[in-house]
Homo-oligomer: A and B are copies of this chain.
Amino acid sequence: MNAQEREEGTQFAPKFDGNGLLSAVVLDAESKQVLVVAFMNAEALTATRKTGKVTFWSRSRQKLWMKGETSGHVLHVEEILVDCDQDALVIYAKPAGPTCHTGRTSCFYRRLDLEADDATALESVLS
């Protein structure tokens, strides 16, 4: 598949990197808040498409990881968008509960103060 086909065609041909992964960004379908950013390998992508529940590949644990498998806070897929070179996915989902393991709605609960020193650069934006 050449670049033109990959970018303009109708064929879904996900491009996994050297580690067999692509990036997946999950947003709340309703609020449009970014909930979590992680990776999928081919198996995780297939599971996500088949079950309608967002499934990642955990790089730290080196295993398939269905979001919410222990907490019950699964992410129900509503829509998947694919980028130009097909190496990243944007997934709009309906969360069954807080997405972050810390109990927060989103994993992105801190803002980086662009003026501050690193030691005190993070401030909470979600409780």
List the interface of chain A (C-beta within 8 A of B): 7-13, 17, 23, 25, 27, 32, 34, 36-38, 49, 52, 59, 77, 79-84, 88-90, 100-102, 104, 107-112, 114, 118-123, 125
Residues of chain B with a CB closer than 8 A to A34's CB: 25, 27, 81, 90
A109 to B82: give the CA distance in the assembly, Å.
Answer: 7
Residue of B whose beta carbon sits closest to that of A104: B84
Copies per complex? 2
Kindly name the residue among A11, A27, A37, A109 whose own CB sees the greatest number of chain B CB atoms within 10 A.
A37
**Which 4 pairs across A and B sit closest by C-beta, in order of nearness?**
A12-B121, A81-B108, A37-B88, A83-B107
CB distance from A27 to the nearest CB of B (A): 7
